[in-house]
Chain A
Amino acid sequence: MSSEKKCNNCGFKNTPGSKFCNNCGNKLPLSTHIICPNCQTNNSIDRIFCDNCGTRLIEDDPLPEEPQQEEPPKSSGKAFTLPTRRPGDTGHLDPNILPEWLKTGETNNLDQPDEEEFQELPDIDIGNSKPLPKLEEQTAAKSLTDDLPDWLVKSNDSDPIIAEPDGISTELYLDLVDQSEDFDESSLPFDASDANLPDWLTGAGLFKDDTSITPSESDTGKLPPISEEDVVESESSGLTELFSSMESDSAIEPDFASSESDISGLTALFSDLQDDESEASKSDDEAESSSGLTEWLSELSQSDMDNQDAPAADSGTEESEWLQDTEDESSSEPGAWTAWLELPEAQSEEGSISEIVPDDDDLADEIAENLAAEQAGISADFAELFKADDSSDANDLPDWMTNIEAADESLIASDSEDLDEDLFSLEGNAAQSELDWLMQTGELSMPDEPSGVDIPSELDIPAEEIEGQYLDEAEGDLDWLSDLASLDTSSLQQDDEFISEEVAQPDKVDKVADGDDWQDKELLADSSEVADAAEQEEPLDIELSIDAQVSEWLDSAPGSSGLDETAVSDDLDSLFSDISDMVEGETPTPAKGFTDWLEFSDELEEAELEAQAEGSVAADDSDESFSEWDGLLSELKPDDSGQDSAQSELPDWISDLNLDERVKPLELTTSVDETALVETEGPLAGLRDVISVASVITLIQDEVAVPEFTVTPEQRQQLELLRQLSHDDAKSDTSKDDATHSNTSLTRILLAMLLLAAMLVGFLLPDLLPERLLPEQPTTIGALTAVDASAGKTVLVAFEYTPALAGELAPQSQLLLDHLAQNGSHVVAISQHAAGVALATSALEEHGGDLMGYLPGEAVGLRQLSDCLNQKADRCTMLSGELGNDANQTVLDDVSMILVFTGQRDSLIHWIEQVGATTDIPVVAGITQALEPVAAPYYASGQLAGMIAGAPATAVYDSLTNETSVNGTLAGEVGNESAQLISMQLLSQTMGQIIIVAVFIVGLFIYGILYPLVNRRKNL
């Protein structure tokens, strides 16, 4: 990720860490990196320790707790800033960076600062800490008026609220307060409730101030003297009360015991900085004193408090104090208005923030009354600033305070709905800006505005443009809050450890989201609501325009002349930033970005605390990996106890930024709701960016074009053949009705009976057929020749058939054995079928001969046998059983012919290939008629000396040997039983063939001619 920061205004790429554009000066968006304070290395936002040097980037000190009030001051830095701070918790204040006018309380020399006077600023002794450096060293270059709002200092109006003062002093603000108290609210040209105080001012009331900083008078020189009693009583003094209150919960504050100073204003500031909870017990009895600008602010706050609900009894003491101060306008002590600032903390501790929220209505009323009576126009505008309607009390509350209310309704009595309405209203959105209250004050100069809708005409821009500027404005809004936030952060950090101010706010929000915190949900919810409001209420959103546009009409506001609005804004930023640094401790640190407080949530902080307690957190110089931080995050659980504070720490304006939608296109393109990407179930639980299986499955798949499939006729034929082979047709026939099945069976039976009848005719009516002579086939003649050639020699006869084929082969074997016997041949029977051994035994008993027995092994056995034949008996060592005896060995040596009777193809092939091919012994095959096509080629090739295939060939052979007619009748005449049997079989076979042919022809006629004709007629 590139660390360069691109300016949104001019597009200039600035060096990492720049807050403002190096080219145009525009404020740069906050980055997503943490710069190591030690080596200046850019580290990812999620790093705890520097990748380069190992320096810890994030504060790891535990949260300060209430009992820590009595602990000595220490730099217990929390990793979180303003949102994580509890009411009254303040940070280290660095007086070195306080604005000049806060230090001195004088503005006489704002335009021409006197260096000598600055040099006379005393070193402030903050308790036990080391003396603060001189203020003028830090702020000499600043103009004193820079710290004042434009509308206060610069005003072109003829009758401004505050004429451009020659110098800003406490008296000036006291006068303003006096005027505001007498102001007639009714004279205001607008709804005073729209005068939305800046959040930080309103929220300042939540803080408690127990400490005081009392620099010596000689140090300040310019502040009016203040008695020691006043100083003691003024726990909350002016604006400083805010910061002291913010630090009240922490134990960071040094012991500002030197409260002998009689100064006010700045004195009170520093005394407030030392507000420690250890002194909280004394706060109830202390009076308030204030002077300078802070006094003015305190008066405003007191006015606000007047309209608040009745305070709780527990906080009655403090409330009475500031009420008294409010009533006692002449006193105008610095602690008067700041009293309410300290009250909220105490009251919040009592569970009723609503009682401590200052109500500025009374103050506004007074201002309105005063100004309306004496001044018109702009004076009333100023009064409008402090005017607030009772019903809109919450409107003046800072958003993060309203969150407190949302989190704990008991804390704030005001109606939360009002808050929401105000939040999404024009004023609410406008209040998001740091200059909200300034803007609305300036709106008083807009006479055309009917009510609180303070929209300058020059800001009447299209809603689309507003939407585009929304983010820019939001960033601008963040300025003062960022600085204020840095106040918290700095107060919670170690001296040499800090979080880079460049951490982008959106990233911080995302970081909060990492912890699965409720803050994220609320934040996103609020942001979405505001986004909706921004889209729907276009006119109202005009107020959300950028600061530059605001400054235009602000410049035209009374009293705003002569001062640059942005300068004021910047000064405010720097004010709080510097204050935060000052609060942090002795070592001034760079101003922290407001995003510091967003960087970590309470859960993260607690996780660190737990990790420290368990010793899992290594020392600062350890190289802690990112996984460790992730581990801490994963262990975090939403803490209800910290919800109140955390909720209060998330101002609504952050939610209004709608970061998830608006910021994402810019710097947070990778910042998404990571909680939604973290897998929570399954084996991938805990992993991010896991693609949901459901989402993948539910994806609509593009339709894949399936090519057109065409079945060719050839394929149909092949499919039909496969169906027939797999008996699919037979299976389909099972679905036929019984009638069809019975018809099929009947047909089959009828055909069988017809066939039997025909064949019986062949047996019973032998004269039915005319006498005929079968042709003498060469195969049969070759068999006869081979048999005759082996006369007197040994003939090996193989009975390779079973009784199932005995009906066809038995006549052949009997005929040939008779012929061999007649020739004087020695017959040796052998078989590779067990049943063939029995048939051989039966045949040999009738015709004589020797049975060699059973030859196992099929082709292998025949190969072994072949080794024993043809005078190769010396190699015949593998014949087993009876074949291996010496007698058989001798017989095998003399075999001159091999006669094989078989009805199986393999047997015939094996004999031909294994024996006939390896020996010179002629082989004659007596086979079935079905095997004739197989044996014919072997006869053609000379591998078979002769062949007798079936009953016809047997009859021919018989006629050749006995010189008789093949006609069956002849067999009876010659008395040869075998010849008679063969003749009758041939007649029967012939009758059967005739019937089969007839049935075949009839079938073809029916199914090939009649059936189509019938179907065609039906179709017609």
Chain B
Amino acid sequence: MSESIGLIVGLVLTLLIYSYLLGDNPLYRIAIHLLVGVTAAYSAIVVFRQVMLPIYEQVQQDPTNPDNFIWLVPIFLGLLLLLKRLPTISWLGNISLALLIGVGAAISLTGALIGTLWPQVTAVSNTPQLFPGQGIVVAVLTASTLAAFQFSGRTDHDGQWTQPGWQRAIGTVGQLVVTMTFGVLFATVINSSLILLSDRLGYVLRFFGI
């Protein structure tokens, strides 16, 4: 029974979402609001149960343990974040935000360097060549892509903004590369969407026993 209710609710919500084909409507909004609300509530419960409650239990078991005092720091920073709601002392919350953003940026930058940039640079020569001069082609296409976003130029005697011919040529190649990339991404997105749609269609068909 509960499974059937779940299937019905799932079907109704699916239809509500697809009602967007008729345009923005309250049914669609209801489905969106339910999704957001349930997700937020579920996230809160998960965080509380799997993060805060274990920590509380740990501290409660041995409150005098000096190792537990370390939790005062995140608690204090968390309280400072709550002060962001008070305009007069909201600046205190900036301390926590600064810590979060600073640490996050540092971690991300470090990871980007050691996890993406350097491995990708070294991989050009290490990976097997699909065709001769692959590296040169990759370099040229990369440079042309960067040149496509170069808008600097000079004004000619007529006062018209213009770019050198070579720069426009490289920029044109870069625009083609970007266009192809966007086309591929868009196609993959469409494919993913079609899979999701088919999943929903299969769900509906299964619901009706087809």
Contacts and interface: CB of A to CB of B under 8 A. Distances in A.
Interface string B84-118: 00000000000000000001100110011011100
Contact of A989 (B43, B185, B198): B198
Contacts of A943: 115, 119
B60 interface: no
A506 interface: no
A804 B13 CA distance: 12
Nearest to B53: A881
Contacts of B47: 834, 854, 856
Contacts of A976: none
B188 A985 contact: no
Interface in A917-961: 917-918, 928-933, 937-938, 940-943, 950-951
A859 B111 contact: yes
Contact of A805 (B35, B196, B202): B196
B115 A988 contact: no
A215 B116 CA distance: 125
B6 interface: no
Given A880-B54, A912-B116, A913-B114, A834 B191 contact: no
A640 interface: no
Contact of B205 (A763, A912, A928, A950): A763
A110 to B, nearest CB: 91
B72 interface: no
Contacts of A942: 119, 123, 126-127
Interface in B1-38: 21-23, 35
B22 A749 contact: yes
B192 interface: yes
Report the interface size class on chain B: 35 or more
Interface stretch (A188-196, A544-552, A708-716): A708-716
B79 interface: no
Given A752-B21, A834-B39, A880 B55 contact: yes
A933 B188 contact: yes
B199 A807 contact: yes
B50 A858 contact: no
Interface string A738-753: 0000000100110010
B160 interface: yes
Contacts of A880: 51, 54-55
Nearest to A980: B202
Interface string B151-173: 00000001111100000000000
B22 A745 contact: yes
A910 to B, nearest CB: 7
A752 B21 CA distance: 7
A756 B197 CA distance: 8
Most buried by A among B43, B52, B107, B114: B107
A763 B202 CA distance: 7
B190 interface: yes
A981 B206 CA distance: 10
B123 A941 contact: yes
Interface in A858-885: 858-860, 863, 880-882, 884-885
Q: What DSSP secondary structure best describes chain A's contact surface?
A: helix
A853 interface: yes
B195 interface: yes
Contact of A988 (B23, B45, B201): B201
A936 to B, nearest CB: 10
Contact of B196 (A808, A882, A884): A808
Contacts of A914: 107, 111, 115
Contacts of B160: 710, 712
A909 interface: yes
B201 to A, nearest CB: 6
Given A837-B50, A853-B50, A860-B103, A913 B115 contact: yes
Interface in A802-854: 802, 804-808, 810, 833-835, 837-838, 853-854
A592 to B, nearest CB: 72
Contacts of A928: 188, 192, 195
A859 B191 contact: no
Interface string A985-1008: 100110011001000000000000
A917 B21 contact: no
Contact of A918 (B39, B114, B159): B114
A885 B57 CA distance: 12
Contacts of A856: 47, 51
B210 A808 contact: no
Contacts of A712: 160-162
B137 interface: no
A762 interface: yes
Contacts of A807: 195-196, 198-200
B179 interface: no
Nearest to A990: B194
B202 A917 contact: no
Contacts of B35: 804
Contacts of A950: 188, 191-192, 195
Contact of B201 (A756, A804, A859, A951): A756
Nearest to A805: B196
Contacts of B65: none
B112 A762 contact: no
A712 B162 CA distance: 8
A710 B22 CA distance: 43
A914 to B, nearest CB: 5
Given A756-B201, A808-B199, A837-B46, A863 B123 contact: no
A397 to B, nearest CB: 75
Contacts of B42: 834-835, 838
Contacts of A760: 201
B192 A929 contact: yes
A988 B46 CA distance: 36
B184 interface: yes
A901 to B, nearest CB: 14
A918 B112 CA distance: 12
Contacts of B108: 859, 913
B123 A940 contact: yes
Contacts of A442: none
A759 interface: yes
A984 interface: yes
Most buried by B among A760, A833, A917: A917
Contacts of A989: 191, 194-195, 198
Contacts of A931: 188
Contacts of A992: 194, 197-198
Contacts of A863: 107, 111
Contact of A835 (B23, B43, B103): B43
A710 B159 contact: yes
Contacts of A933: 181, 184-185, 188
B189 interface: yes
Contact of A951 (B53, B195, B200): B195
Contacts of A593: none
A912 B50 CA distance: 25
Interface string A413-437: 0000000000000000000000000
A77 interface: no
Contacts of A748: 21
15 contacts: A755-B197, A759-B194, A763-B205, A860-B107, A880-B54, A881-B54, A882-B50, A884-B58, A909-B111, A909-B115, A917-B119, A918-B114, A918-B115, A985-B195, A996-B194
Interface of B: 21-23, 35, 39, 42-47, 50-55, 58, 103-104, 107-108, 111-112, 114-116, 119-120, 122-123, 126-127, 158-162, 181, 184-185, 188-192, 194-202, 205, 210
Q: Which 10 A-B pairs have the closest CB atoms?
A: A913-B115, A807-B199, A941-B123, A913-B111, A834-B43, A988-B198, A917-B115, A834-B46, A930-B192, A930-B188
Given A759-B201, A942-B127, 19 more contacts: A759-B197, A805-B196, A807-B196, A808-B199, A834-B45, A838-B42, A854-B51, A856-B47, A863-B111, A880-B55, A881-B55, A882-B54, A913-B114, A918-B115, A942-B126, A950-B195, A988-B194, A992-B197, A993-B191
